[in-house]
Amino acid sequence: MTIETVGVVGAGQMGNGIAHVFALSGFGVILTDVAPESLDKALTTITRNLDRQVSREKITAEQKDAALARIRTTLDIAELGQTDLVIEAATERESVKQSIFDSLLPHLKPETILATNTSSISITRLASRTDRPEKFIGVHFMNPVPVMQLVELIRGIATDEATYNELIGVIETLGKTPASAEDFPAFIVNRILIPMINEAVYTLYEGVGNVRSIDMAMKLGANHPMGPLELADFIGLDTCLAIMNVLHDGLADTKYRPCPLLTKYVEAGWLGRKAGRGFYDYRGETPVPTR
């Protein structure tokens, strides 16, 4: 099949970025969320990010206007039923994702491909609970979606070759590079990245260094563009914890035990940038370490 229309479920940080890159590449996009304010915020964010691309001469004003015209929002998930590809980009909780697929399935065309932007959950298990495991695939975009070039492509045990090849073509049409990953917990990027962040939190927890020194050490000592605690705040501490729990549960190895301090921050609601506080406090003019 040729994919021309794309449904995106979830208008948060990842969902609005996915809608942005698809619309800019010529696809018709229907973006849905359970909250009308999330859809309004998503359109504002997409417009601002497109404006930034225009100001940097990455795209023209005409391309920006055309992209915005291709995006339609709705609160009714059934309206995604006639799209050729649906990408779920909701919160990193399996029960939430499963509920979304249950709501979608009665409305989908037989040939529609289902994809999930999960960063860690088993594609095989999610696919097995749908009516089309052969047309189900993991398409894991990196954050921020309009900027990052990599997309992890993960086949479940039942994903057929046609679906896989179709998505390779789609990702390349977006101007991004697909990296094939096997369906094991957290795939490639987060299997390596999130345990590094967790170890940085342990380094803080054990008093080896404070927030500023840990981040400075990795930026200047390992040439990382962001320190691991700064990066954790950017990703969201709840997401980091969820991925560590998937690794710990899925691989049954104590080296993936989430740091108790990470758990404590999440319990406090200090989830990083999106909450105003995490390992840094973002409520003032400049971020201030919280430890």
**What was the pLDDT predicted at 243?**
92
Catalytic choice (49, 119, 122, 198): 119
Catalytic choice (140, 166, 198, 230): 140
Answer for the pair 32, 100: CB distance below 8 angstroms, yes or no. no
Catalytic, 152? Answer yes
Catalytic, 119? Answer yes
Catalytic, 143? Answer no
Catalytic choice (152, 166, 198, 230): 152
**What was the pLDDT predicted at 91?**
87
Cβ-Cβ contacts under 8 Å for 195 (sequence gap 6 or more):
244, 247, 255, 256
Catalytic, 190? Answer yes
- Reported pTM: 0.89
**What was the pLDDT predicted at 92?**
85
**What was the pLDDT predicted at 1?**
62
The list of the chain residues with pLDDT below 50 reads none
